[in-house]
């Protein structure tokens, strides 16, 4: 079946540090890939997405590139802020059409 593997947290960074959260996937066909974010006390929100190989999704300074050859969709940000502290979920939607999530990576940014 489809699955998403992402690095376990928590990840603790100082403000303005570079962020990478790794995500790899297993899926049939050509899935769409997503990063969702869950801020403390809030619901899941879509952060960015990519629907085909080599697409780059970007939003709020975050980027992720759909790499079919390595089945990866790593999340990056060049300079994190305290307000980026949240849990980040990598997810995919494949031929079965349901969205499958990774376990989430908690990011804590300290001033």
Partner 1 sequence: DTGVSQNPRHKITKRGQNVTFRCDPISEHNRLYWYRQTLGQGPEFLTYFQNEAQLEKSRLLSDRFSAERPKGSFSTLEIQRTEQGDSAMYLCASSIGTGAEAFFGQGTRLTVV
> Under the rule (CB under 8 A), what is the footprint of partner 1?
4, 31-32, 34, 36, 42-46, 49, 51, 89, 91, 93, 96-104
Q: How far is the CB of 99 from partner 1 (least distance, A)?
A: 5
90, 26 Cβ separation under 8 angstroms:
no
Q: How far is the CB of 16 from partner 1 (least distance, A)?
A: 28
Q: How far is the CB of 70 from partner 1 (least distance, A)?
A: 20
Q: How far is the CB of 43 from partner 1 (least distance, A)?
A: 4
> Smaller CB distance to partner 1: residue 27 or 80?
27
Per-residue 3-state assignment (H helix, E strand, C coil) for the chain: CCEEEECCCCEEEECCCCEEECEEEECCCCCEEEEEEECCCCCEEEEEEECCCCCEEEECCEEEECECCCCECCEEECCCCHHHCEEEEEEEECCCCCEEECCCEEEEEEC
> Smaller CB distance to partner 1: residue 18 or 30?
30
> Smaller CB distance to partner 1: residue 17 or 106?
106
């Amino acid at each position: 079946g489809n699955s998403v593997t992402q690095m376990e947290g928590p990840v603790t960074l100082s403000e303005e540090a570079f962020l990478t959260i790794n995500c790899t996937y297993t899926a049939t066909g050509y899935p769409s890939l997503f990063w969702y974010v869950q801020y403390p006390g809030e619901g899941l929100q879509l952060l960015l997405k990519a629907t085909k190989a080599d697409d780059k999704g970007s939003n709020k300074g975050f980027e992720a590139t759909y790499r079919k050859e390595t089945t990866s969709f790593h999340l990056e940000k060049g300079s994190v802020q305290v307000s980026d502290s949240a849990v980040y979920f990598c997810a995919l939607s494949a031929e079965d059409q349901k969205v499958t999530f990774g376990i989430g990576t908690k990011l804590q940014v300290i001033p």
